[in-house]
Structure 1
């Protein structure tokens, strides 16, 4: 029997073997790169597929080009995770409508390279209204996030950090994804949906360590801006979050303290994920040391990291009393040289109300009472 003679159900099953998780999410723990966004080409349709990455993704794209029948079967899988530029939104939505794909899109990554608040209705509101994806990610420079949130950017020291882009990711329920935003009464971007999960990857602060009195530099960060602007929308966002992930590479401890002040407002938070060091095997530290030409004391980033752990422990204890936090995940235990010090530091401060059930896991669970521990994530 020829391939095209197979029933559509079997063809669909074959296509699913090339299905993958979003390649964007796979690299989320790395230093953000502009390359994660769409390529600047004249072909708008290309800009709407998932970012190239694995052989399986490329195989799925190639499979969709074989014939019309296979393409029709493959498109819903191929566009589960879409990437686009705000200026191509109309083309993107027209393409989804033409092929009846909108309800297949599970996640959208938007690469915002500049300021687009002049677009009406707002590109993000239009996207959320017409594509009921449950995951919404934005790759943009720090000042663009501040503009989206309608707050002052607090980025006078941005030059010292060299953070061209950062990543903000939100998750919402399927029910929330189906609600409509009123264009005539546009809410703040941060509360455009009742977001339940938030991930913020700030990137690396290593270049700032090469500047004079680096500890006085203020990190270009949406969370810093929300903290100092006392944003009502930011507070409403924080109050609704159930999961929060903070990812950075060697942030200053005083900046981590600003981030933690935002986290203390997340009273409904059940899971907190923190990553302050590069991935094991990453060359980020060596790369930036080479660029700095040796003008960086290698002890400074590690000292800032260790001080940050103490601050994190205090915030976890605060949310133990004032909030609903159940799980703390410290991802830096993956770094072999840090594991013992990190586990010891957190255990010493959390042992009365939290339990570290598995060495090397980086996961602490809150006590539910005598001899009982919360183990859900």
Structure 2
């Protein structure tokens, strides 16, 4: 029986392409700890490692920490150049720690992203502010960037450093995190809840190609959600909006009243009904929007509040603009 070592390189490449999963739209920074099948395959022998090598680096993660960011960028840049991976990397994930840009290294990061012509960028910030840098006149426009994913990015400073003055993305994915713990405080509507995601502080004109916006969160206060929708409503090219507001926790809600006091679940549900009322109104102001997709299991549009006018529901959770409304 012939071993894999005797197979032609073309056949090995076919095997690798079969094992290699279709690249995800984004690099998930805190994803599964399990090794992907392609990495396991690359460990079987030297020939497989050689064939797998470029496929392994289509998605790259970079951790940025105060005092270490410059070195991390330098080491990754050297590795990419030494292995001619400049045009291989399609997706980059940045884990930004508190004050990651100590020493004013924001421009160096933007230059690095420009050098590798990144198409997809994920940023995780954990709501940690960075040091302010004057970036309005920085060069290195990220002209190839098509997709942007933001995870708990409340500060707009990092985004301004990387995206100004204009950002060509077509897809924006905002994972706004969970706000459930805030509802145990009588002042839950202030503080973190008062301000929207950092991207909402941008002028919508900075995103001339943005057609698809995804917003996922768990129990965002309605005023925060409304602040983000106000930004989305001003996007002139928006066609698809997807929302999830209950973080897959809505099937666990207990809405039965206990004695004379509303339960926490009741408070959460009431807040979400209000958020959906705002959503219906905001959607009605988005002239270019064609489709609204709701990913929650319990949808308040089903009996608790009216869905957007001029939109009809097709498959559950999908609302399409009526044709007669498009021609008006």
8 Å Cα contact 2:242/2:295 also seen in 1: yes
Shift in Å, 1:138? 0.6
Counterpart among 77, 80, 92 of residue 108 in structure 1: 92
Q: Which runs of 5+ in 2 are unaligned?
A: 137-143, 148-159, 255-261
Query: 2:87, 2:27 → 1: CA distance?
Result: 23
State the Cα RMSD in Å.
Answer: 3.5
Query: 2:26, 2:42 → 1: CA distance?
Result: 23
Instruction: Call closer, same or farther: CA 1:314–1:148 in 2, change over 3 Å.
Output: farther
Give 2:248's aligned residue: 279
Query: 1:15, 1:106 → 2: CA distance?
Result: 18
TM-score (norm 2): 0.76
Give 1:367's aligned residue: 322
Query: 2:133, 2:179 → 1: CA distance?
Result: 23
8 Å Cα contact 2:178/2:220 also seen in 1: yes
8 Å Cα contact 2:26/2:121 also seen in 1: no
Is 1:205 equivalent to 2:183 in the alignment? no
8 Å Cα contact 1:202/1:221 also seen in 2: no
Instruction: Call closer, same or farther: CA 1:219–1:53 in 2, change over 3 Å.
Output: same
Is 1:132 equivalent to 2:96 in the alignment? no
> Helix, strand or coil for the counterpart of 1:142?
coil
8 Å Cα contact 1:148/1:189 also seen in 2: no
Shift in Å, 1:78? 1.2
Counterpart among 279, 302, 308 of residue 350 in structure 1: 308
8 Å Cα contact 2:38/2:52 also seen in 1: yes
8 Å Cα contact 1:93/1:130 also seen in 2: no
Query: 2:195, 2:164 → 1: CA distance?
Result: 18
Give 1:298's aligned residue: 265
TM-score (norm 1): 0.67
| Length, aligned pairs only | 293
> Helix, strand or coil for the counterpart of 1:369?
helix
Give 2:292's aligned residue: 328
> Helix, strand or coil for the counterpart of 1:172?
coil
8 Å Cα contact 1:190/1:234 also seen in 2: no
Give 2:279's aligned residue: 312
Shift in Å, 1:53? 4.0
Q: Which runs of 5+ in 1 are unaligned?
A: 28-35, 38-50, 152-170, 175-186, 287-294
Instruction: Call closer, same or farther: CA 1:207–1:263 in 2, change over 3 Å.
Output: same
8 Å Cα contact 1:244/1:269 also seen in 2: yes
Aligned pairs (5 A) from 1:92-241: 92-117=76-101, 118-120=103-105, 122-144=107-129, 172-173=145-146, 188-191=161-164, 193-219=167-193, 223=197, 231=201, 233-241=202-210
Is 1:61 equivalent to 2:61 in the alignment? no
